[in-house]
Amino acid sequence: MAQIDDLPPLREVIAAHGLNAKKSLGQNFLLDLNLTSRIARSCGALDDCTVLEIGPGPGGLTRALLAAGAKKVVAIEKDSRCLPALAEIAEHYPGRLEIIEGDALEIDPVAVTGGGKVRIAANLPYNVGTQLLINWITTPDWPPFWQSLTLMFQKEVGERIAAEPGSKAYGRLGVLAGWRCKGGILFDISPKAFTPPPKVTSAVVHLVPNQTPLACDLKALERVTAAAFGQRRKMLRASLKALSADAEALVEAAGLKPTARAEEIDIAGFVDLANTFKTAGAV
């Protein structure tokens, strides 16, 4: 295992502070510093930016980000038990680590990072990871406040983010991510790398903003994809009736086949569909 700094091994840190992972917080601590260093390198250049980290736990990825040269890391941690361990890292890297106790779902990421170049990196807690991603890729202001997202999810979620039309994993999340971002899965991580080991394989996903996504009303796209994939086995003329009594005509007006199913429609097709429904006042 790599030695990236002079701080104690993570297993010793966890034992010293009594940091047994809590299932209620979706915690699985990644202890392999080779892997945390690989994740940090995957973020891109860090010496001129602030890295926002969610759920640092005992600080394995935090240490890797700082050792990789991050100008500053802002770490949001909900579990107060982890704060003393993180404080030790802050002392080791003076002036470069800011620790915020709180729930990332309730904290304004723009306010805590203070503007400038921001990259987001995290071993996301399983129970809030998808919602955080949706928040970041559906922000009204675009291009967003962040330059890249390097995030760990359950592999199943990672596959949904990177899914292409026609695949079983393709759905609303893949459309939203593919509309506004470029990227995908970088590599998988075995359950054995974590303490305690989760029951599933994890995947590290890297996304960068698409600076000029196809013009589309975000709320319309969200409603259209929610309706279409909410009844994905049905044809569009049936699944979109919740949005319009004349769904078939509107689907045709968008240049799509009313008999097509949601998983057959690419991102450009969903954009056309959302714009057509929006113009017609259906959403």
Pairing of strands 202-209, 181-189: antiparallel
Q: Could you tell me the end-to-end alpha-carbon distance of the chain, in angstroms, rounded to an integer?
A: 54
Give the bridge partners for 122, in sequence order.
151
- Return the number of other C-beta atoms located less than 10 Å from residue 105's C-beta: 12
Q: Read off the DSSP letter of residue 171.
A: S
Give the per-residue SS3 of 53-108. EECCCCCHHHHHHHHCCCCEEEEEECCHHHHHHHHHHHHHCCCCEEEEECCHHHCC
Binding-site residue positions for S-adenosyl-L-methionine: 28, 30, 55, 77, 103, 123
Cβ atoms 96, 35 nearer than 8 A: no
Instruction: Collect all residues with Cβ–Cβ distance below 8 Å to 17 and sequence separation of at least 6.
Output: 58, 81, 82, 84, 85
Residue whose tokens read 């922000």: 139
CA distance 122 to 26: 13
Cβ atoms 239, 260 nearer than 8 A: no
Torsion over CA: 112, 113, 116, 118 (sign): negative
Find the helix packing angle between 218-230 and 172-180, rounded to 10°: 150
Binding-site residue positions: 28, 30, 55, 77, 103, 123
